[in-house]
């Protein structure tokens, strides 16, 4: 991302430009309905049950929530979205019947049968780690947490599960979403989704728990752990020690030392840093690792000490998933290309080869896009949304051509 002087994206940037009129113009002139239909139809031809039995939900008129919307084809969806100009669109599961008929069906008849395997990673779940922002704010210093998360989860889904049809999207505010569109993923039931979420989950425990990554000797040798630790290590110094300065003050370093499984080393380091607190987090981290290594050697390599550096790096930078979003088949997730109601920014796709270069501050807002349309002398000239629409088009084109590969799933046990 471009270097900025501590620029932050606040939760309410751009909201004054959102109205039924401006949203209607956006949906009518810019929303990629053709590719959107192909994506959720899993075909470029006539509508399938994947689309006609799919639930959409719309938020309109300052909070009115319309659930169980469904449409016979892409044209009907487009017509209704343009008419209602929803401030938010959520995508749900494919059901046994068209969701618009849900109220007229007997109990037990209307059930979800498939949906993309989805993941939601939100920056607020890193608030106990990041020091630059909190709540709805993000900045250049903390966004790399999302970069690390995308790399870790994407590689696990591809290499450990054999999934190939994976779309990432910026939430429009402070996080990212992942849509796994392979047929095997869409057919997973709730226990299967829990198994995948459990496989990917590594940071456990609330704010009161000091050590949140606990791996046995066996699980520590798992390919996913080894691969993830390498990804985290590549970003760790710049992200946690330089940008976040996690050992800068006693309040910060106390949280890290609390996870160290040796009271004597904790006290020694705390006393030393308290006496000379102005040393950088890079120097303090190096000093801590050296002290732990010496102690582990004296104690004949006690496992908790020998792996402390790896476990602590994972605890601070490993992806923090909202497992409830992943584990329930009927859970809704915000649609790509809708406008985030808190920021006015578009929820844009992120290409898998652009994790490191994606810049949330460059994502266009609704107001920006409409100004581009209104000031252009060429009615056919592309707006700043075009690059993201092209990423989506390429993904959908590949998806429609793809034939699912069905490799044997790896063990979900550590």
User: Cα torsion for 162, 167, 168, 169, to the nearest 10°?
Assistant: -160
Choice among 13, 35, 90, 122 that is catalytic: 122
Q: Are the CB atoms for 144 and 156 separated by under 8 Å? A: no
Tokens of 361: 């501050």
Choice among 13, 120, 125, 160 that is catalytic: 120
Choice among 13, 35, 55, 262 that is catalytic: 55
What is the Cα–Cα distance from 256 to 380, expressed in whole angstroms? 55
Tokens of 353: 């080869």
What is the Cα–Cα distance from 80 to 103, expressed in whole angstroms? 20
What is the Cα–Cα distance from 367 to 372, expressed in whole angstroms? 9
122 among known catalytic residues? yes
Strands 64-69, 112-114: pairing kind:
unpaired
> 99 exposed, middle or buried (CB, 10 Å; 0-12, 13-18, 19+)?
buried
What is the Cα–Cα distance from 131 to 355, expressed in whole angstroms? 22
- Among positive and negative, which fits the CA dihedral 238, 239, 241, 244? positive
120 among known catalytic residues? yes
264 among known catalytic residues? no
Q: Which residues are catalytic?
A: 55, 120, 122
């Amino acid at each position: 991302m471009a270097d900025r002087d501590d620029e932050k994206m606040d939760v309410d940037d751009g909201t004054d430009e959102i109205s039924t009129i401006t949203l209607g113009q956006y949906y009518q002139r810019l929303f990629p309905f053709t590719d959107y239909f192909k994506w959720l139809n899993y075909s470029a031809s006539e509508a399938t049950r994947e689309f006609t039995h799919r639930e959409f939900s719309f938020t309109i008129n300052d909070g009115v929530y319309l659930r169980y919307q469904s449409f016979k084809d892409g044209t009907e969806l487009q017509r209704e979205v343009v008419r209602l100009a929803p401030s938010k669109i959520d995508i749900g599961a494919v059901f046994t019947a068209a969701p618009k008929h849900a109220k007229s069906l007997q109990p037990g008849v209307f059930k979800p049968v498939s949906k993309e395997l989805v993941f939601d990673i939100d920056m607020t779940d890193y608030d106990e780690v990041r020091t630059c922002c909190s709540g709805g704010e993000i900045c250049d210093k903390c966004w790399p947490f999302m970069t690390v998360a995308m790399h870790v989860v994407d590689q696990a889904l591809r290499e450990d599960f054999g999934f190939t049809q994976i779309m990432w999207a910026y939430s429009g505010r402070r996080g990212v979403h992942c849509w796994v569109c392979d047929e095997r993923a869409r057919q997973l039931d709730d226990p299967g989704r829990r198994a995948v979420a459990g496989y990917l989950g590594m940071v456990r425990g609330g704010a009161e728990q000091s050590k949140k990554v606990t791996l046995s000797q066996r699980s520590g040798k798992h390919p996913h752990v080894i691969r993830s630790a390498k990804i985290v290590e590549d970003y760790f110094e710049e992200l946690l020690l330089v940008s976040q300065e996690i050992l800068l003050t006693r309040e910060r370093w106390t949280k890290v030392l609390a996870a160290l499984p040796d009271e004597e080393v904790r006290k020694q380091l705390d006393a030393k840093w308290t006496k000379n607190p102005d040393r950088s987090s890079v120097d303090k981290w190096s000093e801590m690792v050296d002290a732990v290594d010496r102690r582990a050697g004296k104690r004949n390599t006690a496992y908790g000490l020998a792996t402390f550096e790896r476990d602590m790096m994972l605890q601070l930078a490993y992806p923090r998933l909202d497992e409830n979003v992943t584990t329930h088949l009927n859970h809704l997730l915000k649609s790509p290309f809708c406008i985030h109601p808190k920021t006015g920014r578009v929820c844009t796709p992120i290409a898998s080869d652009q994790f490191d270069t994606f810049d949330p501050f460059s994502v266009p807002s609704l107001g920006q896009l409409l100004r581009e349309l209104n000031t252009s002398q060429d009615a056919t000239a592309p707006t700043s949304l075009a690059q993201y629409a092209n990423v989506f088009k390429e993904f959908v084109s590949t998806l429609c051509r793809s034939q699912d590969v069905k490799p044997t799933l790896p063990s979900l046990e550590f």
